[in-house]
Structure 1
Amino acid sequence: MEICKHNDYCGGCIHQGIPYEKQVEMKGREVLKLLTDKKIVCKNNLGIVGSPKQYAYRNKMEYTFGDMVKDGEMTLGMHQKGRFMSIVTVDECQLVDPDFNLILRETLDFCNEKGYRFYHKKSHEGLMRNLIIRKGERTNELLINIVTSSQEEFAEEAFVERMQSLELSNELVGILRTLNDGLSDAVYCDELKTLWGRDSYMEKIMGLDFKVSAFSFFQTNIEAVERLYTDALSLIEDVEGKTVFDLFCGTGTITQALALRAKLAIGVELVEEAVEAAKVNAQLNGLDNCKFIAGDVFAVLDNIEEKPDVIVVDPPRVGIQNKALDKIIAYGVKQIVYVSCNPKTLAMNLEYLQFYGYEVKSLKAYDNFPMTKHTECVCLLER
């Protein structure tokens, strides 16, 4: 595929133009260097594997309204590299399904025709804030969420008609409007309105069904993450009859996959909405041997009566704080499976765990986000 036409400004895909095999090699070397720098002894380094899809793999995009140059025409897309106030219209992005590009272009045209203004970060005035598109990779269901302030009227019915008139390859199942009057740049939901259809889409992963709502976290590259999770769970010895903790569990994908075989799977997650979504999905899949607890892992571990036989951790990019690691270590489980989305903080955590008597049995890296800087890893530790 040719170099993306947005490459000079967008900056999302830092490895554009580099042959894919080379990208994967580079990322593998980066992971190895981080481990070597922290003197991590790995019994079995399984290298790195590439993504099943190099293009059109993202199932969610959050676009921002703005302008490219001061007082220029309104744009819709991503922040320009090195210039936070400038927004690049990315209507030919190669990382998303072509339907995303169609919806983006049509939404921008609609808003410009109506004369709507974008919400200005400094003056805090204007209507249009964000466009969020989500897709079920296995179900081909699409969800559109337009984010506005409440400062002006927005033609909801006309917008719905315009979106429904598009000739899409996927099935549009819901059109939503989020009202956000927060001052920060982040998407915050003061009110969520369903303008048409449903407020969620369905996804299938690891043989399980997931209902994904407008703001619930879900893995971005489904094909790649399914392989990663399958590999991670295969590392656990004889999970049948065991109690497993899944810490930083998000919407509980791993927890539920564990529950298919374990005696009991307990997921712990800070974000309450994610926990509520996890409970709904567990019910959807008829799983009564998994439970979910909302709260900070450090605090929650003090109050769980059950004792784990195995612990799975899948922390955010900042990794796991040492005080939480101390509690994990104190359980004295034979096996810990660490799923990481940031090799740098993984190496720091492994250094700590290694010092306290865990050895790294195996480590495998995954390029689940081709063209970008991100790399994921799965690591098995044994006491």
Structure 2
Amino acid sequence: MKKGEIYEGIIEKVDFPNKGYVNIDGEKVIVKNGIPGQKVRFMINKKRSGRAEGRLLEVLEKSPLEVREHVCKNFPACGGCMYQTMSYEEQLKMKETQVKGLLQEAVGIGTDLHWEGIHGSPIEFGYRNKMEFSFGDEYKDGPLSLGLHKKGSTYDVLTASDCKLVHPDMTAILSRVLDFFTELGAVHYKKMQHTGYLRHLLLRRGVTSGEILVHVITTSQAEYDYAPLVSRLLALPLEGKIVGIMHIINDSLSDVVQSDETRLLYGQDYFYETLLGLRFKISTFSFFQPNSLAAEVLYSIVRDYIGDTKDKEVFDLYSGTGTIAQLLASVAKEVIGVEIVEEAVEAAKVNAALNGLTNCRFIAGDVLKVLDNLTEKPDMIILDPPRDGIHPKALPKILAYGVENIVYISCKPTSLARDLPAFLAAGYEVQRSCSVDQFCETVHVETVCLLSKLHEAKHHVNVTLEMDELDVTSVESKATYEEIKEYVLEKHGLRVTNLYIAQVKRKCGIIERENYNKSKSEVAKQTQCPEDKEMAIRDALEYFGMV
């Protein structure tokens, strides 16, 4: 089996998030973006350490699980959805199997997960309250498009005028914006050349209020009169109501949506959303769960897992905009939230005041450092870390509190599975666990675990856990620096150095041993990895299963 060779086979199973397996003459080949039971044609594009990976070229035969027609004209080419042709019940079954398998392997076969199933979203389509659409073209030098990237492509963009993940109000706005800039002859921003004008369309819509914020994100490389666009948008016959229109200037080389300057073209830059009886002020960059109705399911489960918090000190670590902290504040002595993003902390303070909560305190800073300075001792800890999970050096500090109960909320079950052994070694057991599907039709899923301290009356083995054991050094063997460089160059067209890779690995919690692959040049230590290259390296680390 060599790179470039083409094979056909049946996808036997799919591991989280989208890693399918095809058996070719006794050798397993990883083929992503398929459904169990599909017969596919694929080309070998990776071969290393006895493991082969293929790029999906064509689905030759449908899977028996594909029992319905797709509902979007861009399916299956669009990267937004994976499972439209599967019934929602089968989607949930597959995600549940994936998560249970990961967690069971993490805690050990025979150890009870106390699994309580997977909870589906109250609505399957039109659930997203926020969407970032990209400007581009469907093929090189083609007409302007506005929507989502094709599967496996960082350049080709399919116009999402029929997207079923969002409310029809959003697709109506998208079509009107695309028509306006097409008439003007405006050009999209080209990431490799760093030239062009149009970058993104960011839309937010309150589920309970129907209020909508519209953000057009561009570079400063051109100037247009936005008054006609504002008039056209306000004239749209929408179910909801546009309350704010903004033009955001972003000249960053990174493809991340951010603001160098924000110009308010109409109305206000916020709206209010209600969640489990609390009001939250939502602005352009506020973090808020993208599926409001499923978020209510998630947070209700979290509240149930937490149990009685009366007269208790609660730490909400990686607290975001403080949603969980505020849901607990009315039944706790005090809730202290810690979040590294300062804007999120400020939003949390505003929302706490909005809801009349005086026993919530929010601290801006890295959990790893903030815990060293906190004098309060928690009775309970809530963990809701980003996709990469808990920093391996923060984990011992969290475990050192020795609280009886910890609730871990994970948006990436592979990160949770990586962290679980440390909790077990510190004397915790999984008391309850489940998943919540916030992202129907996609590969993503939320998972919640209640971790409880083993009581002395129970028989258990005491394990000494050294900090080095928590460093994720084992993943270093999964891909060499040269393989990471090759992947980044092949997929993103970028050349990266060992130093840049090492910097990004450290940010992801992959702590290298002293003097491991360090640059020989002292001057190089002063050079920081550019944002676009950091994103590409992070993509490579995820591709190789290192984060």
Q: TM-score, normalised by structure 2?
A: 0.69
| Offset at residue 322 of structure 1 (A) | 2.2
DSSP-derived class of the 1:22 partner: helix
Say if 1:42 and 1:362, in contact at 8 Å, map to a contact too: no
Say if 1:367 and 1:376, in contact at 8 Å, map to a contact too: yes
Q: Following the alignment from structure 2 to structure 1, what is the Cα–Cα distance between the partners of residues 418 and 372?
A: 24
In the alignment, which residue of structure 2 is the partner of 1:246? 316
| Offset at residue 224 of structure 1 (A) | 0.8
Q: Following the alignment from structure 1 to structure 2, what is the Cα–Cα distance between the partners of residues 206 and 48?
A: 20
Q: Following the alignment from structure 2 to structure 1, what is the Cα–Cα distance between the partners of residues 101 and 90?
A: 16
Q: 1:108-166 CA distances to partner (integer Å, 9 max, x unpaired)?
A: 00000111111111222211111000011111110000001111112221111111111
In the alignment, which residue of structure 1 is the partner of 2:93? 25
Report 1:352-363 matches (<5 A).
352-363=422-433
In the alignment, which residue of structure 1 is the partner of 2:367? 297
Report 1:16-165 matches (<5 A).
16-40=84-108, 41-165=111-235
Question: Identity rate of aligned residues, in percent?
Answer: 50
DSSP-derived class of the 1:322 partner: coil
Say if 1:245 and 1:266, in contact at 8 Å, map to a contact too: yes
| Offset at residue 38 of structure 1 (A) | 1.7
| Offset at residue 253 of structure 1 (A) | 0.3
In the alignment, which residue of structure 2 is the partner of 1:284? 354
Say if 1:312 and 1:337, in contact at 8 Å, map to a contact too: yes
| Offset at residue 43 of structure 1 (A) | 4.9
Structure 2: 5+ residue runs without aligned partners? 1-67, 454-547
**Aligned to 1:12, which of 57, 80, 91?**
80
**Aligned to 2:396, which of 303, 307, 326?**
326
DSSP-derived class of the 2:394 partner: helix
In the alignment, which residue of structure 2 is the partner of 1:272? 342
Say if 1:363 and 1:378, in contact at 8 Å, map to a contact too: yes
Say if 2:115 and 2:433, in contact at 8 Å, map to a contact too: yes
The amino acid that maps onto 1:339 is: I
Q: 1:36-67 CA distances to partner (integer Å, 9 max, x unpaired)?
A: 22234335210112111100000000011111
DSSP-derived class of the 2:156 partner: strand
The amino acid that maps onto 2:264 is: T
Q: Following the alignment from structure 1 to structure 2, what is the Cα–Cα distance between the partners of residues 234 and 83?
A: 41
DSSP-derived class of the 2:103 partner: helix
Q: Which has more radius of gyration?
A: 2
The amino acid that maps onto 2:406 is: I
DSSP-derived class of the 1:84 partner: coil
Report 1:183-262 matches (<5 A).
183-262=253-332
DSSP-derived class of the 1:267 partner: strand
DSSP-derived class of the 2:319 partner: coil
| Offset at residue 197 of structure 1 (A) | 0.3
Runs of 4+ in 1 over 3 A off after TM superposition: none
Q: Following the alignment from structure 2 to structure 1, what is the Cα–Cα distance between the partners of residues 165 and 261?
A: 30
Q: Following the alignment from structure 1 to structure 2, what is the Cα–Cα distance between the partners of residues 260 and 6?
A: 46
| Offset at residue 237 of structure 1 (A) | 3.5
Q: 1:225-279 CA distances to partner (integer Å, 9 max, x unpaired)?
A: 1111111112224201111000011110001111111010011111111001101
The amino acid that maps onto 2:420 is: L
Q: Following the alignment from structure 2 to structure 1, what is the Cα–Cα distance between the partners of residues 193 and 244?
A: 32
Say if 2:203 and 2:213, in contact at 8 Å, map to a contact too: yes
Q: Following the alignment from structure 1 to structure 2, what is the Cα–Cα distance between the partners of residues 262 and 71?
A: 58
| Offset at residue 81 of structure 1 (A) | 1.0
Between stretches 228-237 and 324-333, larger displacement belongs to 228-237
| Offset at residue 340 of structure 1 (A) | 1.0
| Offset at residue 204 of structure 1 (A) | 0.5
In the alignment, which residue of structure 2 is the partner of 1:349? 419
Say if 2:76 and 2:82, in contact at 8 Å, map to a contact too: no
Say if 2:335 and 2:361, in contact at 8 Å, map to a contact too: yes
| Offset at residue 169 of structure 1 (A) | 0.6
Between stretches 287-296 and 236-245, larger displacement belongs to 236-245
Between stretches 359-368 and 117-126, larger displacement belongs to 117-126
Q: Following the alignment from structure 2 to structure 1, what is the Cα–Cα distance between the partners of residues 176 and 79?
A: 23
| Offset at residue 76 of structure 1 (A) | 0.5
**Aligned to 1:340, which of 410, 430, 447?**
410
Q: Following the alignment from structure 1 to structure 2, what is the Cα–Cα distance between the partners of residues 90 and 331?
A: 48
Say if 2:200 and 2:217, in contact at 8 Å, map to a contact too: yes
- Rate the CA distance shift 1:263–1:196 in 2: closer, same or farther, 3 A: same
Q: Following the alignment from structure 2 to structure 1, what is the Cα–Cα distance between the partners of residues 128 and 69?
A: 18
Q: Following the alignment from structure 2 to structure 1, what is the Cα–Cα distance between the partners of residues 87 and 440?
A: 11
Q: How many residues align?
A: 383
Q: Following the alignment from structure 2 to structure 1, what is the Cα–Cα distance between the partners of residues 210 and 241?
A: 6
Greater relative contact order, per chain length (Cα 8 Å cut-off, separation 6+): 1
Q: Following the alignment from structure 1 to structure 2, what is the Cα–Cα distance between the partners of residues 230 and 39?
A: 25
DSSP-derived class of the 1:122 partner: coil
Say if 2:297 and 2:436, in contact at 8 Å, map to a contact too: no
Q: Following the alignment from structure 1 to structure 2, what is the Cα–Cα distance between the partners of residues 263 and 79?
A: 47
DSSP-derived class of the 1:323 partner: coil
DSSP-derived class of the 2:107 partner: coil
